[in-house]
Amino acid sequence: MLNSPPDEASRRRLVAAALTLTEGTPLAPKRYERQLLAHYEAGTLTLDEVIALLDISTYHVLYRSRATPAATEANLQALLHQARTHNAQQQITGLLCYSEGDFVQLVEGPETVVRRLYARIQRDTRHTQVVTVSDGPGPQRWFVDWHMACGPVDALELCQLVRAVEKQVLPLVPIEDPHLQTLLHAFGLPTPDLS
């Protein structure tokens, strides 16, 4: 019975083998891919459904960096104008946050376009210490209406957001900024109750 769906034990072995084979390589599944594999393993998705969901997924890169020198309001506005024009043409959306010389940016869209843009961002001399916090496919765009939203945010909230996403833990302090709350939600982290 080659065409019968695999049983639970077979699905678990297949997922374990895939994870073992890709561990420590660029092919290792990212967070969303692991979620889909867990659904396959549980039998709630077929392998064809997993592949179909990955085919329509949105690729993202979340990074942090340090401005060189500290950005002025005029520099930020020029950067935003350039980014919004480029991003609209390339079907890229996202969010750029700035606080006390630190940038945190989420870029989302088609994988090849996002990877090409991120390579350019990494070479940009307007900042240094570019660190990838997260990258990979996701189920949807989080900033669908923004070719590049931007805003100054509280430095402590920004630091806590990066820590929470990197370590997949709750922030130690409440994050009140609505853009940062959206980022928490995008990475599967609950927004703390502020009441």
Question: Per-residue pLDDT tens for 42-53?
Answer: 999 998 999 999
Q: How confident is the model at residue 130 (pLDDT cuts 50, 70, 90)?
A: very high
- Compute the Cα dihedral for 127, 131, 133, 137 and give only its sign: positive
CB-based contacts of 165: which residues, under 8 Å, 6+ apart? 62, 133, 134, 183, 184, 187, 189
Domain 58-186, what fold? Answer: Alpha-Beta Plaits (3.30.70)
Tokens of 1: 């019975």
Q: Quickly list H helices, 43-177.
A: 47-55, 73-90, 111-123, 155-167
3-state helix vs strand vs coil in the chain, percent to 5: 45, 20, 35
Question: Could you tell me which residue, 73 or 90, shows the higher pLDDT?
Answer: 90
- 143-168: pLDDT as tens digits: 887 777 677 889 999 999 999 998 88
Q: Is residue 134 over pLDDT 80? A: yes
**Structure confidence at residue 92 (pLDDT):** 92
The CATH 3.30.70.100 domain(s) of the chain lie at 58-186
Mean confidence (pLDDT) of the chain: 87
Tokens of 118: 């991120």
135 φ/ψ sector (left φ>0, alpha ψ -120 to 50, else beta): beta
- H or E segment and range at residue 181: helix 178-186
* Mean pLDDT across 99-127: 92
**Structure confidence at residue 31 (pLDDT):** 84
User: What is the percentage of the chain residues whose pLDDT exceeds 70?
Assistant: 93
